[in-house]
Amino acid sequence: MDVKIEESWKKQLQDEFEKPYFVQLTSFVKSEYATQTVYPPAKLIFNAFEQCPFDQVKVVILGQDPYHGPGQAHGLCFSVNDGVDFPPSLRNIFKEINADTGAPIPKSGNLERWAKQGVLLLNATLTVRAHTAGSHQKKGWEQFTDSVIHLVANKLENVVFILWGNYAISKGEFIDANKHLILKSVHPSPLSASRGFFGNHQFSTTNKYLTEHGKSTINW
């Protein structure tokens, strides 16, 4: 199957695109976009890959679902388009970055600037029906994004995996901690952020690890 995705990822994932589950997933997604309001816009489904080619991945941050409100989702987990109000989790992420590294709270919630530095901002499910959280879960996306995590974990070295909340942590159980740095904490949502997200120092810890392994740091 010919999937429109960044060339280095296409090369790595071509076998995945031929599997029956992915063919079924494609059919489901096309039908949803034809009959429902679905986010992100179809051309941005694989934006996380577009902005961060395979061989440039230094950090993986794992989300769950795209935002399901108008104008928010653009294919990068936790990120919103310029000019869109920060969702609560993103606001808390910026607060922790500020406390941890001293970086000022940015004006924009668009995290493409991270992706271009080697941060793969991967949602476990890449599409969602408007105003219906979880509506595209268990349709095949999770199998696809698991294969992406496996690929990064197996073929690259010294990647930082940042896993927030039980769902993300469970997705990272097969990552080799001797080969990569795995950082875990509660989710940055307002329900849990004060129970261990704030003060986790994961952004400075990431940069320290990257420096130790001869990689350029992320300007958070």
CA distance 138 to 32: 14
Which of 65, 82, 85, 176 is labelled catalytic? Answer: 65
Element holding 123 (H helix, E strand): strand 119-123
Secondary structure (3-state) at 202: helix
| Cβ burial, residue 115 (10 Å; 0-12/13-18/19+) | buried
Q: How does DSSP classify residue 43?
A: G
* CA dist., res. 136 & res. 165, Å (int): 20
Q: What's the order of all strands across the beta sheet hosting 119-123?
A: 119-123, 59-63, 160-164, 181-185
Active-site residue, 65 included: yes
Phi and psi at 176, nearest 5°, equal -80, 110
Number of neighbours of residue 181 by Cβ within 10 angstroms: 20
Q: Is 197 exposed, middle or buried (0-12, 13-18, 19+ CB in 10 A)?
A: buried
Annotated catalytic sites, by residue? 65
